[in-house]
Amino acid sequence: MGLYKGISALLALCFLLVIVTCCQPVHIKEQKISVEGKIAFESNRDGYFDVFLMDADGSNPVNLTQYDADDRDPRFSADGSKIVFTSERTGFFDIFIMNPDGSAQENLTQNPDADDWYPCFSPCGEKIAFTSDRDGHYEIYLMEADGSNPVNLTRSSYDDMYSCFSPDGAHIAFVSEREGSPDIFLMEADGSNPVNLTRSPEATEWFPCFSPCGEKIAFTSDLQGNPDLLMMDIGSFNITNITANPHALELAPVFSPHGDQIAFQARNGDFDIYVINLDGSQKVNLTQNQETADGYPSYSP
């Protein structure tokens, strides 16, 4: 559990997590929302962490989940028709799915004895990969989009977390500490042929994300001392430090639909959501919400 404990300790310094074990019906007023040009994200601005939706420029934030428990880690489906997220409303973390207006929230995993985290859709929208400790430690699982037929893909004796599909659905990037320190790995979508892409024995790397063309992977790494946003060219294995900020903690990168920018969460006091060009220029704070934590952005298609 070394990777989980390390990441949890890091995030615990930045977020106030509230454990609530209540379970009650969700009543969300239907909202007519267009998802084009939107970013889903998590925020505790209303007390608990909820899933919000805002315009890509940071304007017009709307609370989608409105629940008295933590709802986190949102990810859009490729067609924008669904959002999958993590919720603690059952007392454990489960994977939920909802419409992009917050309606029809449904628990997909319903696992009372384990935590299920960090879901992501396959490009076709028929599968969801996620992290779970249901077999004793954290591994990558794959299930149908309705929550059926969960399969352990990694079957490792070490922690595996933070999965992300390639745009063609053929591969999954993830984080594993099976070779010592947490590295970025790439495997076939069925869990076969895992390959260590980063091989950084003295660094911690997490939150991999494919570019829309599938040729690059952005991720967080403390390879150069401070957790920065790095980008790897998969063909050449060349790595570029996009942010190179010695004073901020930068996490959870995600490419814009056109692949020309990256949205991410950064802590320089409180967590906010930023956007930046791939060359590191024009970094913009989208949320500018002091005394709360905003993070884990996901672009609509």
pTM, whole model, 2 decimals? 0.87
Burial class (CB in 10 A: 0-12, 13-18, 19+), 98: buried
Closest CA to 262 of 221, 217, 204: 217
Closest CA to 145 of 201, 192, 98, 199: 98
Strands of 135-227, DSSP E: 139-144, 151-152, 160-165, 171-176, 183-188, 195-196, 205-210, 216-221
Instruction: Using the predicted structure, report yes or no on whether residue 32 has a pLDDT greater than 80.
Output: no
Residue 23's pLDDT band (cuts 50, 70, 90): very low
Q: How far apart are CA 70 and CA 252, in angstroms?
A: 18
Q: State the pLDDT at residue 299.
A: 98
Q: Quick: pLDDT tens for 126-181.
A: 999 999 999 999 999 999 999 999 999 999 999 999 999 999 999 999 999 999 89
Q: Quick: pLDDT tens for 206-250.
A: 999 999 999 999 999 998 888 999 999 999 999 999 999 888 899
**Where are the chain's structural domains?**
2-22+34-299
Q: In what order do the strands lie in the sheet with 216-221?
A: 205-210, 216-221, 228-233, 239-241
Closest CA to 91 of 69, 72, 106: 69
Q: State the pLDDT at residue 202.
A: 87
Cβ within 8 Å of residue 157, ≥6 positions away:
137, 178
Structure tokens at 116: 């299920």
Q: State the pLDDT at residue 147.
A: 98
Residue 78's pLDDT band (cuts 50, 70, 90): very high
CATH class of 2-22+34-299: mainly beta
Longest Cα separation, the chain: 51
Q: State the pLDDT at residue 34.
A: 56
Closest CA to 3 of 195, 114, 173, 131: 131
SS3 11: helix
Q: Quick: pLDDT tens for 80-105.
A: 999 999 999 999 999 999 999 999 99
Cross-strand bridge partners of residue 117: 131
3-state helix, strand, coil in the chain (%, to 5): 5, 40, 55
Average pLDDT over residues 5-21: 40
Where helices occur in the chain by DSSP H, the ranges are 2-12
